[in-house]
Amino acid sequence: MTDGRVNRSVLVVGNGPYCFKVAGELASVDSVSLAVLREARLDEMEQKPNLVELLMPVELLGFSGQPGEFRAVFRQTNGSHAERTYGFVVVALESEWISTLNKWSVVEDSRITSLSKLEKYVNEYLGNIGPGDKVVFISGFKQDSYPVSQEKIVNFAAAVREKTGAATYVLMEQFKVAQEGLERAFRLARELGVVFVKFSQTIPEVRVGPKECTVQYMDEAMGQAVNISPQLLIFEDEACPPPEGRYISDLLGINLGNQGFLQGDFLFNLPIYTNRTGIFVVGSGKGPISEREAEREAEAVAEEVAKLVCSFDKEVVGPFPTLNENECIHCLTCYRSCPHKAISLYPGQRSPQISPVACRGCGICVESCPRRAIDFEHGESGISYYDIDKEIDHIVYEDSRDVPRIAVFACVNSAYDAYLLAKSRGDRLQARCSVLKVPCGGRVEAAAVIKALGSGVDGVAILTCHENSCKSVHGASRCRKRIAAVKEMMTKCGVKEEAILFGTVAPGSAPQFVELINRFSLRLQGGDGSSIIPGNAGSGGEAR
């Protein structure tokens, strides 16, 4: 727990010019330190940000703590170590553009190059190009292409055509125009005479001889083969995740996404969040984005930080787990299972500490604690969380033979909303449901499911968010696995596992909620040929 003195400074971690821009935006909010993992060129900066400290180049060796008191350990080039405390961290690593020449089995020379090399040595490459020459750009085929890189190609192709008069061809898989003004730039390039060729069935062939290189392809729209011997051949680069991404994400305890790009594959991470409160990711490290979008993210993260600073001044409201130190056996299950890394271990402290700022109230720690040493305190926010156990004791059902009785554990972020929506729409449920609001599917313990089942209901449904749209990162998937285990256990005990349903439903999907419940109800009644309700005469099901 914090000692009341919260640190409001921000650490920006970057590897190139972009992190300076981000630091500049943040500097208007709070004191900013910048750790650049590589030597970056400062002279490109229009305006040097007002920094408390610039560490460049620097190695980030250690990281611990919670929002308001993150501790970072650095090693500088002279070998000296430094330890600092920060309130927040912004990861502003940039992705890299890597040449694709080796994927095409060609070697770079004066006629063959990559887009980034062309960008760097444009005069050298174009110096010898004149009217009657041919220049070919190749985009895609061996890698994903993005509007950012295609914008460069379009502009280069137009410039080559206009300034040198060379016949210019752009061979591409898709024309990615999803960026402001790009469709227009694309047309202007065509009107200048740049020939764009699109491929969907075939791919161009590149042959490099000692004297000339040839590009052979099928113009699918024309239905004819084309053979070009270009004087200059340029390949689009591949967008690769920042090389430091994996190390930094491991160190900071933030989830990594697809192909090693930053930001885990979870809906609620969008646009700039991570699984940890107070740690943000911005810029192309998450995947190639345009400069304007990157700028927007820098401003958005400045807003997030300003907001968090404001929230420090307020009292923490809402559900907050507390740990009973007398029960805690220091097994660290909670520490390992918290999706938001809100639980810390401090030297000298008897038990793990839960950060009120970082905790998002999912209750996964409550579920995972083998000693039941963690419990929720009811907060003042609009959503209150039930003690599931007590709630189950209160489930009282009237005797009804018409429809099955179902206890529904509904995640407050999804299924519970869907249930309320269905109710307000007047949708008909073919079951008598008792709906228990839970903070997350991950909060529902196996024991609670079994207890609910033992309370006299015909079935228990556990409805959560879809995996990867779970606000608690792995809450829904933990829940799914747990329910599968409960079912397996029940089968082994000779009890029909069909009385338990695990389902996923979105908050706005009232029809899906109704469909799930009604199908479950049908199953319980033996609508699918196997009644498991004692005394139900629907279809020769086995009565127990």
Partner 1 sequence: MNSESGKHRVRAKLETRAQELTERLELQSVRSCYICRTCTSSCPVTFIDPRFNPLAILRMVLYGKIEEVLNSDFLWLCTSCYSCQERCPQEIPIADIMTKLKNKAFKLGNAPVGVRAQMDIIKKAGRTYPLDDFDNKKRAKAGLPELPTSCDVVKTLFESETESLK
Partner 2 sequence: MQKEVIIVIGGGITGLTVALELAQLGKHPLVVERGPLLGGRSASLPCKATDRCLKCNNCLVEDTLRQIKYDSPFEFMTHTTISDIRREAESWYVTLETGPFFIDWEKCTDCGACYEACARLGASGVVRGASINQHPFFGIDQKACSCLQKGADPACVKECPEGAINILTRPQTRQVKAHGIVVATGYTPYVPPEKNRFGYGRLPNVITTQEADEMLRESGAVTRPSDGRVPQRVAFVQCVGSRDRRIGREYCSRICCGYSLRLALHMIHKYPDVDITIFYMDIQNFGKDFEKYYSEVKDKAKLVRGLPGDFYALDEGKISVSYFSEEQQKNVAQPFDLVLLTIGLSPQEENPDLANMLGLGINEDGFLRPSQADASAVVVAGTARGPMDVAECICDAKSAAFKMANFLEGS
Provide the 8-state DSSP code for 428.
P
* Residues 323-362 contacting partner 2, CB under 8 A: none
Q: Where are the beta strands (DSSP E) in 165-323?
A: 167-172, 195-198, 205-208, 213-219, 224-228, 232-235, 238-240, 279-281, 320-323
Kindly write down the DSSP assignment for every residue of 414-457, as one continuous string. Answer: THHHHHHHHHHHTPPPSSEEEEEEES-GGG--HHHHHHHHHTT-
The C-alpha atoms of residue 130 and residue 120 are separated, in whole angstroms, by 20
β 10-14/32-36 pair status: parallel
CA torsion sign for 144, 148, 154, 157 is: negative
C-beta closer to partner 1: residue 222 or 396? 222
Q: Is 184 in the site for partner 1 (CB under 8 A)?
A: no
Q: Is 218 in the site for partner 2 (CB under 8 A)?
A: no
Q: Is 200 in the site for partner 2 (CB under 8 A)?
A: yes
Q: How far is the CB of 106 from partner 1 (least distance, A)?
A: 23
The C-alpha atoms of residue 92 and residue 84 are separated, in whole angstroms, by 19
* Residues 248-267 contacting partner 2, CB under 8 A: 257-258, 261, 263, 265, 267
The C-alpha atoms of residue 531 and residue 543 are separated, in whole angstroms, by 8
Q: Is 131 in the site for partner 1 (CB under 8 A)?
A: yes
Q: Is 205 in the site for partner 2 (CB under 8 A)?
A: no
Contact 280, 301 (CB under 8 A): yes
Q: How far is the CB of 268 from partner 2 (least distance, A)?
A: 7
Structure-token match 């409805």, residue found: 463
Q: Which does 120 bind (CB under 5 to 8 A by kind): partner 1, partner 2, none?
A: none
Q: Enumerate the β-bridge partners of residue 206.
A: 215
CA torsion sign for 76, 67, 301, 288 is: positive
Number of residues that this document lists for the chain: 544
Q: Which two tokens stand for residue 430?
A: 């073919």
Q: Is 484 in the site for partner 1 (CB under 8 A)?
A: no
Figure out which of the listed residues 131, 210, 223, 535 binds partner 2, where binding follows CB under 8 A: 223
Q: Which does 425 bind (CB under 5 to 8 A by kind): partner 2, partner 1, none?
A: partner 2
C-beta closer to partner 2: residue 238 or 458? 238
Figure out which of the listed residues 201, 224, 227, 326 binds partner 2, where binding follows CB under 8 A: 201
Q: Is 103 in the site for partner 2 (CB under 8 A)?
A: no
Residues 6+ apart with CB under 8 A from 521: 403, 404, 406, 429, 430, 431, 459, 527
Q: Which does 296 bind (CB under 5 to 8 A by kind): partner 1, partner 2, none?
A: partner 2
C-beta closer to partner 2: residue 125 or 273? 273
Contact 344, 65 (CB under 8 A): yes
Q: How far is the CB of 440 from partner 2 (least distance, A)?
A: 13
Q: Is 203 in the site for partner 1 (CB under 8 A)?
A: no
* Residues 168-197 contacting partner 2, CB under 8 A: 174-184, 187
Q: Which does 300 bind (CB under 5 to 8 A by kind): partner 2, partner 1, none?
A: partner 2
The C-alpha atoms of residue 157 and residue 166 are separated, in whole angstroms, by 10
Q: Is 146 in the site for partner 2 (CB under 8 A)?
A: yes
Q: Which does 417 bind (CB under 5 to 8 A by kind): partner 2, partner 1, none?
A: partner 2
The C-alpha atoms of residue 193 and residue 511 are separated, in whole angstroms, by 54
| Three-state secondary structure readout of 64-101 | EEECCEEEEEEEECCCCEEEEEECEEEEECCCEEECCH
* Residues 456-485 contacting partner 2, CB under 8 A: 465-469, 471
Q: How far is the CB of 208 from partner 2 (least distance, A)?
A: 29
How many residues touch partner 1 under the rule CB under 8 A: the total is 22
Q: Enumerate the β-bridge partners of residue 436.
A: 409
* Residues 43-102 contacting partner 2, CB under 8 A: none
Figure out which of the listed residues 208, 226, 240, 506 binds partner 2, where binding follows CB under 8 A: 506
The C-alpha atoms of residue 463 and residue 406 are separated, in whole angstroms, by 12
C-beta closer to partner 2: residue 65 or 87? 87
Candidates 96-104, 189-197, 312-320, 321-329; binding stretch for partner 1 (CB under 8 A):
189-197
Q: Is 165 in the site for partner 2 (CB under 8 A)?
A: no
The C-alpha atoms of residue 204 and residue 15 are separated, in whole angstroms, by 36
Figure out which of the listed residues 193, 253, 271, 527 binds partner 2, where binding follows CB under 8 A: 271
Q: Is 162 in the site for partner 1 (CB under 8 A)?
A: no
The C-alpha atoms of residue 402 and residue 256 are separated, in whole angstroms, by 50
Q: How far is the CB of 403 from partner 1 (least distance, A)?
A: 53
Contact 514, 503 (CB under 8 A): no
Figure out which of the listed residues 193, 253, 260, 287 binds partner 1, where binding follows CB under 8 A: 193
Q: Is 132 in the site for partner 1 (CB under 8 A)?
A: yes
Q: Which does 330 bind (CB under 5 to 8 A by kind): partner 1, partner 2, none?
A: none
C-beta closer to partner 2: residue 423 or 496? 423
β 320-323/374-377 pair status: antiparallel
Q: How far is the CB of 353 from partner 2 (least distance, A)?
A: 26
Give CA 201 to chain center in angstroms: 33
* Residues 357-396 contacting partner 2, CB under 8 A: 381-383
Residue 468 burial (CB count, 10 A): 15
User: Which positions touch partner 1 (CB under 8 A)?
Assistant: 128, 130-133, 165, 167, 175, 186-187, 190-191, 193, 195-196, 198, 219, 221-224, 226
